[in-house]
Amino acid sequence: MRLKVSQFLVALLMVSALMLGGCSTEQVTSSNSSPTSTAVETSTTTTTEATPVSQTTSESIPGMKDLPRLEGKATVVMTVKGSPITIEVDGTNAPITAGNFVDLVQKGVYDGLVFHRVVREPQPFVVQGGDPQSKDPKVPANRLGTGGYIDPKTGTERRIPLEIKPKGEPNPIYGKTLESAGITKPPELQHKLGAVAMARSQMPDSASSQFYFALADLGFLDGSYAVFGNVTDGFDVVNKIQQGDRIDSAKVTQGAENLKTSGS
């Protein structure tokens, strides 16, 4: 019993660490949502039921129809300290989350950004980066993990809804964790070793540009955070990343034609 309680407490502490550093500026000043390390906050509007991608895109969540989508798969090669990490991005099971990531890669948003959070103790957890503020040397270290991608067209932060596809279902659900949606099925994309997922705040629809690599199987995060890909080569590089290391570059090497943006 002591071992089980200890394992639960460790998991709880690790999730708390994940949730204490990656919120948007709005969340830092908000009284009803605490800063969290897994992302940047989106709209507080959530869907009330699981809806197909086509309906959700056009109707359910305001602004979702304007978000990039990946229809199929793509390959991204991210280089850190001169060494490549190959990521398979899965738009089949997470079209909005994957589309957002590939679009930001195409825009060069990740080039030069810092991995601001690396958690390996008391056991391997995550390597997190993607805060655009980390390009600015004037931003203090304790502010890293609070920023997201500012869309130059709107001057506001792009945020995407929580997107999780239950196993065996034809479409993802949006704006809810599987638990809050009353779904007991596991997600299609799970937090296995090498999974790549979006960081977010306590608000479900709060992801923007921050992402993390899973350094171990993290099943307790399944259904609560959106996995959108996995490392297929170069996980040894991920394992060597230290807090403060920068992304040299990120490039789409295959599947760019599967990215659909508004107007395309």
Q: What string of pLDDT tens digits covers the 264 residues of the chain?
A: 443 444 444 454 455 445 434 433 333 222 222 233 443 333 333 333 434 433 443 345 667 888 999 999 999 999 999 999 999 999 999 999 999 999 999 999 999 999 999 999 999 999 999 999 999 988 888 889 999 999 998 999 999 999 999 999 999 999 999 999 999 999 999 999 999 999 999 999 999 999 999 999 999 999 999 999 999 999 999 999 999 999 999 999 999 999 999 866
Contacts of 226 (CB under 8 A, 6+ apart): 94, 97, 162, 163, 164, 189, 197, 198, 200, 207
Distance from the first to the final alpha carbon of the chain: 56
> Which residues are 29's β-sheet partners?
none
* Tokens read off for 195: 């999974």
- What number of other Cβ atoms are within 10 A of residue 93's Cβ? 22
Q: List, in order of start, the domains of the chain with CATH numbers.
A: 2-256 (2.40.100.10)
List, in order, residues 6 or more apart from 10 with CB less than 8 Å away.
Answer: 122, 123
Question: Measured between alpha carbons, how far is 170 from 166 in angstroms, rounded to an integer?
Answer: 8
Question: How many residues belong to the chain?
Answer: 264
